[in-house]
Amino acid sequence: MDRSSDASRTVVGCLLATVVSSTPVVNATFGVFLVPISRDLHWPRARVSLVLIIMAVLCAATYPLVGRLADRIGVRRVALVGNLLFAASVASLSFTGGSAFRTYMLFALLGIASAIPSAMLYAKLVSAWFSQRRGLLLGLVGGVGNGVGCTLMPMLAGAAVAGWGWRNAYLALGLVVLCVGLPAIVLLLRDPPAGPAATSGPSPEADGLTLARSMRTVRFWSILGVMALGAGSLTAVFTHVVAMLTDRGIGLPIATLSVGVIAMTGSFWQLVLGTVLDRTGSPRIMAPFFLLAAAGLAILGTAISPAALLAGAFLIGLGIGTDYGAIPYLVGRYFGLRAYGAICGMIFGINVIVLGISPFLTDLVYDRTGSYTLALLAIGACLVLCAALCLTLPRYGQARRMPTLRVQELHC
């Protein structure tokens, strides 16, 4: 089978595997499980959300190791083992309860396992296969994969919770992870061949910056700041949309539809953004969309009519699509592929800590004040800061004084 066919199959495999990765299966469904777990275990919401911090810390420690391992032995083998561990750890949440220690231990294991078959891993694989149209294809895999997953998984989890209870719902999600992810990885994913057959010059590992050199650049910290503040803030909103709206008397159908609008908008916006980034050569185009997300947050926090709520959800989706769609692309363009896994692992690792802390702080504010208002104001300020950080990033052409990539441009 020729390289173009392998590359195309790999994109499809990465897309399917992303649908059942940690963001759709764990983060997107957390709002569905939050209230029933809180009621069943008689825990305040902040105590339930504490599991996200535990997961985040362990996931953050695992991400860089996974990135380095993928740089060394390839993505496919790492993803294969990761899918099996992730599916088992999701299903094991059905044993949650009885004691706080057991509950936290199960979520701790999930935090480690969820870092392995991650979006970072699949972004590395797509970046290694493609140089031209990389932004579009990263948007396709990350955007459509996460968008479809974040739309379908909460609906599936909601139906399973209503019909079978939340413990059996986790069993169902674990089975979905296994049945979708494992065939996609085994049958479709392929690591690019090494050596002259895969490159038009030295191998990709010979080009780009090391992790240590990348961390000495302002660009690294600007990208990290955008991702951590943007993803942390918007994930806190995304995981609480259902609880936030139903607390205000909004019906569950509209609340879950708002989640779907956020997810699908973020999904398809990543496709558009990837194309724009490919053509403009500047990440500063991202700044207005973080400001639009802040406006959407204000609408979602105050509106009552379904039309206004869905409009606010659409604007928030633009912010999520901008944040998640741009980061894997910017790492490849600014720092190269030599240590792509290690660099992304570090950025995603720090980011996932923020992802764990922000929902906990959001619920802590709710438990102390009885509303999400103060949390939403803080999130809005973070989104404005994200827009400012985007304006500090140079054009890719100005960044290419570093060693450049020589990846075979496959026209698939």
What three-state secondary structure class fits 193?
A: coil
Rounded Cα gap, residues 9 and 3, in angstroms: 10
Token pair recorded at residue 341: 């896994």
- Which residues make beta-bridge pairs with 407? 199
Residue 201 has pLDDT above 80, yes or no: no
pLDDT confidence of residue 232: 85
Section 224-249 average pLDDT: 84
Contact 12, 122 (CB under 8 A): no
Average pLDDT, integer, range 264-288: 81
Per-residue pLDDT, averaged over 37-57, amounts to: 81
- First-residue to last-residue Cα distance in the chain: 14
Residue 125 confidence class, pLDDT cut points 50, 70, 90: confident
Residues 6 or more apart in contact with residue 311 via CB below 8 angstroms: 296, 299, 303
Q: Which residues contact 101 (CB under 8 A, 6 or more apart)?
A: none
As a whole number of angstroms, the distance between CA 193 and CA 202 comes to 13
Range with the poorest average pLDDT among 41-50, 164-173, 206-215, 258-267: 206-215
pLDDT band at residue 3 using 50, 70 and 90 as cut-offs? low
> Which residues, 6+ apart, have CB-to-CB distance to 34 below 8 Å?
45, 48, 49, 239, 240, 243
Window from 140-144, 186-190, 401-405 with minimum mean pLDDT: 401-405
Q: What is the pTM of this model?
A: 0.69
- pLDDT (mean) for 266-277: 80
Tell me the average pLDDT across 252-259.
83
Predicted pLDDT at 2: 62
In whole angstroms, give the CA distance from residue 188 to residue 10. 5
**pLDDT of 408 above 50:** no
Average pLDDT over residues 127-137: 76
Rounded Cα–Cα distance for residues 226 and 167 (Å)? 36
Alpha-carbon span 201 to 15, nearest angstrom:
29
Note the maximum CA span of the chain: 62
Cβ-Cβ contacts under 8 Å for 305 (sequence gap 6 or more): none
Query: Could you tell me which residues are beta bridge partners of residue 199?
Result: 407
pLDDT tens sequence across 213-226: 888 888 888 888 88
Tokens describing residue 277 = 């980034």
Most confident of 197-201, 202-206, 310-314, 355-359: 310-314
Which has more pLDDT, 323 or 4?
A: 323
Report the amino acid identity of residue 124: K
Question: Is the model's pLDDT at 399 over the cut of 60?
Answer: no
Residue 374, pLDDT > 60, answer yes
Contacts of 202 (CB under 8 A, 6+ apart): 406
Give me the amino acid identity at 18: T
Taking 3-state DSSP, the helix, strand and coil percentages for the chain, each rounded to the nearest 5, stand at 80, 0, 20
CB 200 within 8 A of CB 207: no
Q: Could you tell me what percent of the chain has a pLDDT over 90?
A: 19
Helix, strand or coil for residue 44?
coil
pLDDT at 406 over 50: no
Q: What is the dihedral of CA 26, 231, 363, 238, to 10 degrees?
A: -60
Work out the mean pLDDT of the chain and round it to a whole number: 81
What does the pLDDT look like over 95-121, one tens digit per residue?
887 678 888 899 999 989 988 988 878
**Amino acid 397: pLDDT:** 55
**Domains of the chain and CATH, by start:** 3-190+207-399 (1.20.1250.20)
Q: Are 68 and 78 in contact (CB under 8 A)?
A: no
Q: How far apart are CA 96 and CA 48, in angstroms?
A: 11
The pLDDT tens digits for 6-32 are: 788 888 999 899 999 888 898 888 878
Alpha helices for 239-305 (secondary structure H): 241-247, 252-280, 287-302
What pLDDT digit, counting tens, does each position of 69-90 carry?
888 888 889 999 999 999 999 9
Mean pLDDT of 275-288: 81
CB 126 within 8 A of CB 274: no
Kindly indicate the confidence band of residue 373, based on its pLDDT and cuts at 50, 70 and 90.
Answer: confident
Sort 252 into a burial class: Cβ within 10 Å, 0-12 / 13-18 / 19+: exposed
pLDDT, residue 110, reads 92
Q: DSSP string covering 108-139, please?
A: HHHHHHHTSS-HHHHHHHHHHH-STTHHHHHI
pLDDT at 402: 41
C-alpha–C-alpha distance, residues 347 and 74, integer Å: 19
Residue written as tokens 């290690």?
A: 342
